[in-house]
Amino acid sequence: MYDKRIKIFVILSAALLLVCLLRLTQMQLLPDSSLQDEIEELKRQRGLSRQLKTIRGRILDRKGRVLAADEPQFHLHINYRLISFADERVIRSKLLRAARKNDPVKAKTKVQQEIQAKLEDLQQIIDKCTYFGLERADIEQRIKSINNRIWNLRTFVAWVRNEPDSNILKKYNHITDVPLSEAIADFEKKFPKKDERLERIGEVDDIADLDKSWPLLELKTDDDIFTAQLEFMDVDGVEILPKGHRFYPYGPTAAQTIGWVGPAQARDKKLFEGEKLLSYLDDELCGREDGVEYVCETILRGKRGQEDWDIDRVLKNRTEPQFGKDVQLSLDIELQKRIEKYLADRNYNPNNWKAPTAAVVIDVTTADILALVSLPVFDLNRARYDYDDLADDPNEPLRNRAINKQYPPGSVIKPLILTAALESGKITPYETIPCPAQKAPREWPSCWIYNKYKTGHSDRWENYAHNAIKGSCNIYFSRLADRINPSVLQQWLFNFGYGHISSLAPALHATSNEHRATSIEHRDLRQAQGQISTSIPKSKISRFEQIPRLEAGERRLFGIGQGNLRATPLQVANAMAAIARAGMYKPPRLFIDSVIASRLPLVIASEAKQSQTNTEKAQNTSHEPRATSDEVALGISQQTLDVIHNGMSAVVNEPGGTAYKEFAHSGLVGQGINVYGKTGSTEQPENAWFAGFATDATGRGIAIAVVVEGGQRGSSDAGPLARDIIQFCIEAGYIGDTGPTTE
């Protein structure tokens, strides 16, 4: 009977053991086991993740020259597991936990031996770090800073894991929003004994930052890198890692247009909010203030990758980083650099001053902006560090004068005024408007020639269109503008690009840079839209109908580019480009890479077209702008174009032209270059202008605008600058006998 019971017990035990073995086999081998899933989930939750750095895209000029790029900076990194032995709190925590082991004496001895060995290793590492120009105290302070940062993180996690006060959690949207000071105060309240807190903080041993390497010092030279590789080749816990550093090879050249990067601010962090691999980390930079770096943030910014391990340190998943895309500009950086140096250098500037200046050069055929100059400039590599001084500088070096400062255009507006008058039938090419040698009636502007020489243009020639442009007659153009219906005058200025903004941003799409960026916002370079009305517009102008009215009495001032008329140098240059291409308007183009950029047409292609049609019907004219893609035919007759071109040619090529003296011996004609220009000057504020275009026998051309703040005469203060910039364009191959440039 007893033997039978033994047999039954053995059989039951064997059966039970078999069930356990089968269950264990199921747990180990069947991936769809619910328990296995739970184990895997636990491993995942308690595992480690490391995000992989990306590289920001480059900014290139039209010829592929690098304007901005991430340049590797090498740093010596040290693992927190090693430097934590320099933290008395960590040591105390380890000893306290050892005291709770089954054999506390043996455990404590083992911990002490480990501490001693790690401290010796750490001291040797610190000694070697002094080879790179740092004092021992500096290195120890950096280690202390890292230890404090991680200790604070461990303290916060310990607080989270030990039933934090629910009243505190209710105050904040998320537990991570709780200030560290408030968390520590609650933690100390719950665990008033210091040793108990140290133990609980020491138990937080499973967060990723504990296995992370932290930068300890920068290796500034190749010799430093080589030395570090030799010294730390076999040292555990120390590694040499590269970090992206934004570098601007051309320093101050095109600084306002390119822009710079800096730490992400609150508004920047909203851009990729909620995107784990796109949102900004503490040490990541983004485009700041203005410029291409800021406008193209969603294109240039890469997407971090990620590696995930489980608790057994087995790699479970890897997401590869996506590098940022390059952005290519229409600028010729060498041409830009030469113009900037010329305008800033005392040896070149004919009037020997360093006045704030802006200059724009546009390729007539393509509407590509070849140069966008604004002086004074600043070094992009120093912008982050010098920002406060730059922001306080009264000369506003941070401001892009070429696109973001509006000026009274002065007499460079006169070709546009004449176009509007001829096309609306308010004058004929040979109809004269006398300019006598006398002061103009009250509320009318006198002619500059009378103010300076007490004579009038009628004493020199018949004052019809050609000669009026050549001599820049204020009487002619103020009287002429006064004849034009105010809305018609505004419409023509609008069609030429005045009074509203032509976008200089690339086309942004949700798929750009392959980001899942649902929060992409449209960004554009900061521009002034100018003013073609008596009152200042209250909002951004996108349609002609939004423009406030022009008071009839102010037309006389608009005729000479004064009053409330305002424009940017880019708008002036681009209007000249439209005249150069026989009345075909194109929006200026800054981005030429076909992948990330497209020409963005002005609104006048559709909405303004209808407004122009209605206005011209009222004036019994038949010139209707015709829109084709991003180009707009302004409807200027060949007769009008001939008058405008001939008059602007006379400005620089005929005796009596306001810039004849400055261009007569330039040698441009001998190089096969035809120059068409218009000088201008303004009062209150005083500025000197030159605007126009230059062409060659092949049909190539460049349009130009130069404004010198504080200048008194467009002819002598701005004319020579424009003349020499045209020569630079010849030597760069954009016009002249050298043939087309190779892009």
Tokens 């076909």 correspond to 594
Average the pLDDT over 419-432 and give the result.
Answer: 97
pLDDT number for residue 514? 42
Distance CA 727, CA 459 (A): 35
Cβ-based burial of 624 (10 A; exposed 0-12, middle 13-18, buried ≥19): middle
CATH topology identical between 43-65+249-329 and 333-380+398-506+527-731:
no
pLDDT in tens, 448-505: 999 999 999 999 999 999 999 999 999 999 999 999 999 999 999 999 999 999 888 8
Of residues 2 and 340, more confidently modeled = 340
Average the pLDDT over 29-35 and give the result.
Answer: 46
Indicate the average pLDDT of the chain: 85
Q: Is the pLDDT of residue 627 over 70?
A: no
Distance CA 654, CA 663 (A): 10
Q: In sequence order, what DSSP letters do the residues of 689-708 get, joined into one string?
A: EEEEEEE-TTS-EEEEEEEE
Q: Is the pLDDT of residue 172 over 80?
A: yes
Q: Is the pLDDT of residue 513 over 90?
A: no
Q: Is the pLDDT of residue 22 over 70?
A: no
pLDDT in tens, 428-463: 999 999 999 999 998 899 999 999 999 999 999 999
Average the pLDDT over 253-276 and give the result.
Answer: 88
Average the pLDDT over 177-204 and give the result.
Answer: 93
Please report, as a single letter, which amino acid is at residue 392. D
Distance CA 165, CA 133 (A): 48
Please report, as a single letter, which amino acid is at residue 528. A
Q: Which pLDDT band holds residue 14 (cuts at 50, 70, 90)? A: low
The answer for residues whose C-beta is within 8 angstroms of residue 381's C-beta and 6 or more apart is 247, 248, 251
pLDDT number for residue 704? 98
Average the pLDDT over 323-337 and give the result.
Answer: 95
Q: Is the pLDDT of residue 227 over 50?
A: yes
Q: Is the pLDDT of residue 20 over 90?
A: no
What CATH number should be reported for the domain whose range is 43-65+249-329?
3.90.1310.10
The architecture in CATH of the region 333-380+398-506+527-731 reads: 3-Layer(aba) Sandwich (3.40)
Least confident of 136-145, 240-249, 323-332, 369-378: 240-249
Q: Is the pLDDT of residue 55 over 90?
A: no
Q: Which pLDDT band holds residue 24 (cuts at 50, 70, 90)? A: low
pLDDT number for residue 422? 98
Tell which residue, 706, 728, 723, 701, has the closest CA to residue 653.
723
Q: Is the pLDDT of residue 600 over 60?
A: no
Q: Which pLDDT band holds residue 367 (cuts at 50, 70, 90)? A: very high
Q: Where are the domains of the chain?
A: 43-65+249-329, 78-217+229-236, 333-380+398-506+527-731
Average the pLDDT over 701-729 and give the result.
Answer: 95
